[in-house]
Structure formats: C-alpha cells, structure tokens
Amino acid sequence: MYLKGVGLAAADGGEVGQQGLKALARQIARIRPKTIACLSAGGAGGALTIYYRPKLTAADAAGPARQGDLALMDAWRDRLSELACEPLYLNDTAVKRWQLDPALPGSMAAVLAAVDRVYPDYRLAAAEVGDAGLYTQYQVGRALRQAVETTARDTVILVCTPLQLGDDRGGLALAGQLTDAVAAQDFYALLGQPRRAYEHKVSGLTAWVAALGALDGICTKTAVFSRETASGRVQFGGWIDYDLSAADPTYESLLRRYEQATAERHRRLLQTGDPFVSLAMAAIEAWVREGRQLDARAYLDTLGPGGAKERLLTEMAGVMVHVDKDGELRGEAGALRPTVPTLAEEITRQAIAAVREDPRFFPVESRELPQLAVTVSVLGAPEDVDDPSALDPSHDGLVAEKGLRRGWVLPGMENIATAPEQVAAVKARAGIPGYEADDERADGGDKLFLQRFTVETHRFEAFEEEV
C-alpha cells in the first residue's frame, strides 16, 4: 500500500503540543514519503477547497515554495467526481475570478515548517475539507486513499487542525471522548454522531474524519505523542498506521455499517415516532421515492387511533418544516397561516416543498433519506404586539409588516437573545431597513405592525441515539 499512515497535529499548542509535533515530524522523516497530503478545516464558502497549483506557499512566504503533486490531485478529482462531489479547485483562474487567497492556511504552514526541519524532500497536496457532514467527509477521505493508490507514490496524510471548542461545556466532554476514540482506534465513534458534534460546536472534526476515512476497512494502531486542552482547543498529536499483524487485517467498511444502522434507525423512528414528524417524513419519502403526493388520511389510518390523529385531521394551522442532513440545513418551507383545510394536509404540503422547492438546494435524493432529521413547527394564530419590549425571543415567533413588505421569524434563532434583536431580525427578513422610522404615515408612508405567535415543535432526529 502506498498510503503509509495518517498524522494528527496542531502547531499552536503549548510545550506538550510542540513535543508531540516534533515526534510526528520525526515519524514522517523515518518513512520518507514522496508526497504529504495536508488536510485542515475550513474552505472557501464552506466547500472542499483543493489547492490545485504547481507551487504552494504560505501566506507570509515562510519556508520554501513546495512543489504541488498535481498527479495526486488529478486522481483525487476523478474519484470525487464518482461521488458527485464538486470541490473548489484553487488554481490561478479561481484565484482571479473570486479574488481568493492562494496561500496555504497558517495552521497548515506551521505544521509543515516543523516537518521541513527534519525532512524537506516531498511534494505537497493540500485541501481544506469544507463543512459538509461527517458521512460525506469520510467518503472524501476514502477517495483520497484510492487516489494515492492510483498514483503509486508513498504518501502520508497530515491533519493540521485542532478540535476547536464552542462555549458549551458539552463540547469539551465530547472532544475528550473523540480523542479517546482515536487513541483506541474506535473511529466509528466519530462517524456515528455528527449531530452531537454540531450541537456542541466542535470544529475541526471534519478534517479528522476525512483523514480517518482514508484508513477505512483496514485495521490500525495509534501512537499518541501529545494531548492537551488549552484556550478552548484540544491539541492532539499522534500517528495512525496500518496494523497488518492479524491473519486478516481487514474489516467491513464503516460506511456500510453506518448506512445499515441509520437505515434501521430511520425505519424504526418512522414507525414509532411523533405522528406529526412521521407524517412529514412519510410525505417526503413518498415524493422522493415515487414522485407521488401522500394521502395523509390513509397514512394516519395506519398509525392507529390517538388524539394526535384527530387533531391532524380536524384542525387548521400554519406550519414550518425544517429538514437537516448531518446537522446542516437541507431544505425548509412553511406558511404562517393555513393554506389547506387540515393540519395533516398542511404538513404534507410543506414537507414536500422543503425537499423539492427550496431554491438554495438541489432536490433531496432517495439515498439521503435515512440521514435526514425533520422538525415540524405548528404555528399559532398571530396576535398584535402592543409592547415590543415584552417579547420573549426564546418563546415568541414574530411577524413584521409595513405596507407591502412582510416577514416572519421563528423563536429560538441563533444569536437572538433580546427583544430588540428579534425585532431587528424580523425587520431585516421583511426587507425593512433599520434606519426607517416605524411610523411614516405623517409623511405619506406606512406604519410598522408587529404580531407574535406561538410555536409547537415536533422533531424527528435520525441521530437521537448512537448509530
């Protein structure tokens, strides 16, 4: 095999981290690879960004210009096209067209500088892996290994990103669990819980998972050089190599295990979950798999009797349907007021619109269904707001209307903690500039009207438990 191992490093740690980085550099020098493939978090516009250039340099021109391994990048591009993955190739054309910086990320350049001190004789492939879900990142890493074997050059993969923690204390605990899992070769622990990683804001995990995807299907062993937590980051230095000592050092792909587990979870939750979200998911499945509109009444009959069924078939309400995939928005649609005679029909209509009509995304495909998480928000009737300062952004949805301009927001929006912030957000959604007076009738204009509404939330989480 031409892939000789995966290194995990970060150059901005303390003394312990620096010792680990030196140990990793010495490990690479012993292997003497022809190519180092560097991965880090980030990426232009959240896309997988491949530095497709014959010479690669750091932002401050520190160190020599490194020769890019264009053959490896070409082979990787071919493999990624088979996954329907569309990276951004950072070549001269892209740099000029979108005014992008062609220099390597600082974290990557710093790690490479440590390697150069003991082993400078290599070509370089470099990429920022973007912010796609972890399942996709794992596939990207597998494609990189296939490209390495195609080009037949001894190569190591080097991850140059620490785990960056958010404010949530759970992020620190999760990051500790993830580094423990890497040390114990339990890579499925990283792949199997993308929702929790996003919820606790552990960034940098995407690059780790992409690198581990390159090792899929073959037994490994891990050497830990350093591990420390400082300044909201978990710095982990280590080396992961193949363990070929067993009679059969291979195992079933973690992707297959993951797909089977999520499909089973999806089936079970669809049958036993909240009727509101079960109905939304059934509508999505019927449309995506068969191109047909679900008969909501017939579907609810299959769920048996219950108060929720009667309510769905008799009440009317506005509905918002929000669809996530691997912790990222995949589509949403909604109506503030009812557009059809029953709540069941409204959920069905908005669920299909969320996966078919959201202009920001391509329509959902059948292979994506087991990875979806759906939230159905049932909206109460709007009521006039007499005192905007009394609004509770965590509980109240808000409508703004001024003349022909109108917009609305749900409660619990990120970074909205106060009533003035929520009012500013809903005005922006309605296209009402902040500099406009709320009441311009004296000058022949319009008055701003605010209405609050309640929201009843129902969730279908594809990753509620470990997969």
Is the residue at 263 inside a domain? no
State which residues form the domain around 360.
Answer: 269-379
Asked whether residue 222 falls in the same domain as residue 77, the answer is: yes
Please report, for the domain that includes residue 11, its CATH number: 3.40.830.10
Answer yes or no: is 259 within a domain: no
Residue 261 belongs to some domain of the structure = no
**Structure pTM?**
0.77
Residue 33 lies in a domain: yes
Domain's final residue, options 203, 220, 252: 252
Asked whether residue 159 falls in the same domain as residue 39, the answer is: yes
The answer on 177 and 54 residing in a single domain is: yes
CATH of the domain at 327: 3.30.700.20
pLDDT along the chain (467 residues), means of 10: 92 76 95 97 90 85 79 95 85 90 89 93 95 88 97 96 71 79 88 63 84 93 86 83 83 86 77 85 94 93 81 95 86 95 97 96 89 92 94 94 95 91 95 94 94 91 46
Shared-domain flag, residues 339 and 322: yes
60 found inside a domain: yes
* Contact in structure between 422 and 408 (CB atoms under 8 Å): no
Instruction: With respect to residue 260, please indicate whether it lies within any of the assigned structural domains.
Output: no
Question: Residue 441's pLDDT is what?
Answer: 94
Tokens coding 68: 């890019």
Q: What are the CA-CA distances from residue 226 to residues 20, 76, 140, 205 (Å)?
A: 5, 31, 27, 18
Are the C-beta atoms of 425 and 416 separated by less than 8 Å? yes
Q: How many domains does the chain have?
A: 3
* Assigned domain for 464 exists: no
Residue 339 lies in a domain: yes
Last residue of a domain, one of 327, 347, 379: 379
- In this structure, are 367 and 393 located in the same domain? no
Q: What is the pLDDT of residue 62?
A: 56
Is there a contact between 233 and 163 (Cβ–Cβ < 8 Å)? yes
End-of-domain residue from the set 225, 252, 279? 252
Statement to judge: residues 80 and 228 lie in one domain = yes
Are 98 and 223 found together in one domain?
yes
